[in-house]
Amino acid sequence: MIHRRLILFGLCAAVLGLSAVSLMAGKVWVPLSVWLQPHNPLAAILFDLRLPRTLLAVAIGAALGMSGAAMQGYTRNPLADPGALGVASMAAFGAVLTLYFGAGAQQPWVIALAAMIGALSAVGLLIALAGDGSSLVAFVLSGVILQTLAAAGVALALSLAPNPWAKDEIITWLMGALTDRSMGDLALAGPLILAGMILLLTLAPALDALTLGEIGAKSLGINLGQTRLILALGVALTAGASVAVTGVIGFVGLIVPHLLRPLVGARPGGLLIPSALGGAVLVVAADITVRLTPGAAEVKLGVAMALLGGPFFLALLLSMRRRLG
């Protein structure tokens, strides 16, 4: 118990420390003393650019980390992440449609709204495809179907883009980034992310019970249909809101629970909060790194996470094969 508390304390300290560095770091370094100098020219950079970017990085990292832990706990599969349900893919498809038709060019909030509609539509389709009494396998396969359909829709939008500018906007948005985000984006995504995380936290007892299998969980009084619905809604809100304001940022929900499981224990319900803190640490650290890369333009955050997550995913898969072999 003491060991777990130390890990949680360390993660909280890491979030605060990295957030302070995030407020300072960039092509132009801003000392924290600017907080006390509102008339300093650097104050605009701190309050208008760095502060909302840092807060969004914390919120989105926490959302993706917790949703990944919830997905892995529900499926009992360490390779699962928020994208496994197809919710993030459908959210991306909804946003891409607004870019394709040019609806979000003048009103950026339209992109976020379309992404959330796509995420919530995915939940409805997921429940309809899986059915009320379906098994875990049917539920996950339904998510794979949605993911495939959304990927096909995005590819079609790219191939039929009406002009080069629309195609460039779609590609740039799909890469995922926190650049030039504002407090308005935080106000849009923050409440949805918070609601989704609260829903996922209510699943802790059910996720623990599912370690005994579906039959064992039912014998303990767990309503699997209700659990599935809450999980889908929680992932839709967390992953959908994240995609809505930043684009696609992958692998956070895969990497963080796997790294923290040996430290805080394998109990799925007990991994939710540590994974939220770990996700915040990972995304803030990655965002600081992309800001400090040399060159006029910074690397997209989604690209950086893919470069980190791809080899990690491969190493995890090979490790599982060796254990099973």
The residue behind tokens 């996720």 is 207
Query: pLDDT tens-digit profile of 80-103?
Result: 777 767 788 888 898 888 888 877
Q: Which CATH class is domain 2-324?
A: mainly alpha
The residue behind tokens 């890990």 is 7
Task: List Cβ neighbours of 307 (8 Å cut-off, separation of 6 or more).
Answer: none
Rounded-to-integer distance, Cα 164 and Cα 67, Å? 35
Amino acid at 70: A
Q: Are 222 and 46 in contact (CB under 8 A)?
A: no
Query: Element (H or E) spanning 42, and its range?
Result: none
Quote the pLDDT of residue 281.
96
Quote the pLDDT of residue 207.
93
Q: Which pair of structure tokens corresponds to residue 267? A: 């109990």
Which regions of the chain are under pLDDT 50?
none
The residue behind tokens 């650019």 is 49
Dihedral angle at the C-alpha atoms of 243, 245, 251, 252, nearest 10 degrees? Answer: -120
Quote the pLDDT of residue 130.
66
pTM of the model: 0.89
DSSP string over 174-236: HH---TT--HHHHHHHHHHHHHHHHHHHTTHHHHHHGGGHHHHHHHTT--HHHHHHHHHHHHH
The residue behind tokens 């829709």 is 153
Helix, strand, or coil (residue 132): coil
